[in-house]
Amino acid sequence: MNEERLKKILKEMERQNVPQLLISDPASIFYLTGKWIHPGERMLALYIDAGGECKLFVNELFPVSEDLGLEKIFFNDVEDPVELLSKHVKEGETLGVDKNWPSRFLLRLMEFKKGCKFVVSDIVEKVRMKKDQSEIDLMRKSSKINSEAVKKILELIPKGCTEKKMRRMLIEIYEDLGADGFSFEPIIAYGANAADPHHVPGDFTVKEGDSIVIDIGCVKDSYCSDITRTVFYKKASEEARKIYSIVLEANMKAIEAVRPGVRFCDIDAAARNYIESAGYGRYFTHRTGHSIGIEVHEFGDVSAANMERVEPGMIFSIEPGIYIPGRLGVRIEDLVVVTDNGCEVLTVCDKNLTIIE
């Protein structure tokens, strides 16, 4: 177990008055133990009580030979893992359960432990929001690889690659740069397709004047990166140039707003208000950003609904966009880590208007 991270979990459990906690999210279990376990349909649970006692319940199909600094309790496919777990949960006490645990396990545990109060728990997710120095260093490494990948993928555009082929080529680029794979399915969108923020790459080729949205991310040493750049092929119309300049300014205004103590909603407003003042508010159809780390989308977002305050060590995206249906889309995304007096931009890639010849 990572003792420093466990201490943070225990402190948050005490603050929320949750004396026992059940964690099933593989990413959160990795965060605490350094061990990835992907259980599929089988039960996986890490039980923690207020005294710091930790027990990992895992199917024997998944060998865990390492000394993880906790008790490992194995079960097989013919045993009832929920009944086994229920014998360790303390009757009459509140039990926090994270978002990932399937209802087929939760409902049965509730039957076994009728005297317990079950609550939805965001304890580990909240602790994961603030990265320690080792995590920040890993995020820098992942983002550096991703920034290089953007530069290399843009070089392929003049070769007439379809969106799908660009995706295939990106796999090779990441391998050459030392990445461990995608952090999410890449979004590569030409022309009118760029007006769909989550476009799936297809058999489309680029045409003169198209906006090209490249939204990609990789995993390196279990930490994710995410970047979006928009370029234009051979020329950019006056409308496209105007929209690009608005999105770029919105991106920079939001980054300038990032500092400890500011609310996430105020960062969102810095980007959104500028786009609205330019007359394109209804074409900015999503939140300004999301938290990122072991997972590409983590707890805490940069949105009008999030009144929480930013703290040093938090890492999230800044990605305003404007999407004109049937014509074009522009999105510019950077990752930032909050510092003691502002923020550091982790993405290192030019974002001035670029025309690919």
Q: What is the CATH number of the domain that holds 183?
A: 3.90.230.10
Instruction: Show the domain range for 33.
Output: 3-128
Handedness of CA 169, 175, 179, 182 (dihedral sign): positive
Specify the pLDDT at position 92. Answer: 96
| pLDDT confidence of residue 79 | 97
Residues 194 and 172 in one domain: yes
Adjacent-strand bridge partners of 342: none
Residues contacting 138, CB < 8 A, separation 6+: 220, 221, 222, 223
pLDDT at 240: 98
Helix axes 3-16, 26-33, angle to 10 degrees: 120
Q: What is the CATH number of the domain that holds 92?
A: 3.40.350.10
| Pair 155, 258 in one domain | yes
Cα separation, 27 vs 25, whole angstroms? 5
Taking a C-beta distance cutoff of 8 angstroms, is the pair 187, 201 a contact?
A: yes
Residues 110 and 151 both lie in one domain: no
Tokens of 6: 């466990």
pLDDT at 211: 98
Question: b/e string for 328-350 if b means 16 or more Cβ within 10 A?
Answer: bbbbbbbbbbbeeeebeebbebe
pLDDT tens-digit readout, 288-326? 999 999 999 999 999 999 999 999 999 999 999 999 999
In this structure, what are the phi and psi dihedrals at residue 225, rounded to the nearest 5 degrees?
A: -130, 165
Do residues 187 and 324 both lie within one domain? yes
Judging by beta carbons within 10 Å of its beta carbon (0-12, 13-18, 19+), is residue 175 exposed, middle or buried? exposed
Question: Which of 128, 158, 185 is the last residue before a domain boundary?
Answer: 128
Of 213, 200, 187, 185, nearest to 330 by C-alpha is 213
Identify whether residues 101 and 145 lie together within a single domain: no
Are residues 178 and 320 located together in one domain of the fold?
yes
Terminal C-alpha separation, the chain: 52
188 and 83 assigned to the same domain: no
At 259 the pLDDT is 98
Domain stops at, among 104, 128, 152: 128
pLDDT score of 246: 99
Same domain, 121 and 226: no
Per-residue pLDDT of the chain (357 residues; tens, 9 = 90+): 999 999 999 999 999 999 999 999 999 999 999 999 999 999 999 999 999 999 999 999 998 988 999 999 999 999 999 999 999 999 999 999 998 899 999 999 999 999 999 999 999 999 999 999 999 999 999 999 999 999 999 999 988 899 999 999 999 999 999 999 999 999 999 999 999 999 999 999 999 999 999 999 999 999 999 999 999 999 999 999 999 999 999 999 999 999 999 999 999 999 999 999 999 999 999 999 999 999 999 999 999 999 999 999 999 999 999 999 999 999 999 999 999 999 999 999 999 999 999
**pLDDT for residue 65:** 87
Entry pTM:
0.96
Of 52, 46, 51, 43, nearest to 34 (Cα)?
46
**Residue 130 burial (CB count, 10 A):** 16
Six token digits for residue 313: 């060590």
Note the pLDDT of residue 51.
97
Sheet holding 289-291, edge to edge: 298-302, 289-291, 315-318, 334-338, 343-345
Please tell me whether residues 92 and 164 are part of one structural domain: no
Does residue 184 sit in the same domain as residue 96? no
Give every CB contact of residue 269 below 8 A, 6+ residues apart in sequence: 304
Same-domain check for residues 193 and 139: yes
**Do 136 and 121 share a structural domain?**
no
Based on the structure, what is the number of domains in the chain?
2
Pairing between β-strand 187-190 and β-strand 211-216 as defined by DSSP bridges:
antiparallel
DSSP string, 156-219: TGGGT--HHHHHHHHHHHHHHHT--EESS--EEEEGGGGGSTTPPP-S----TT-EEEEEE-EE
pLDDT of residue 282: 98
User: Of 128, 153, 176, which residue sits at a domain end?
Assistant: 128
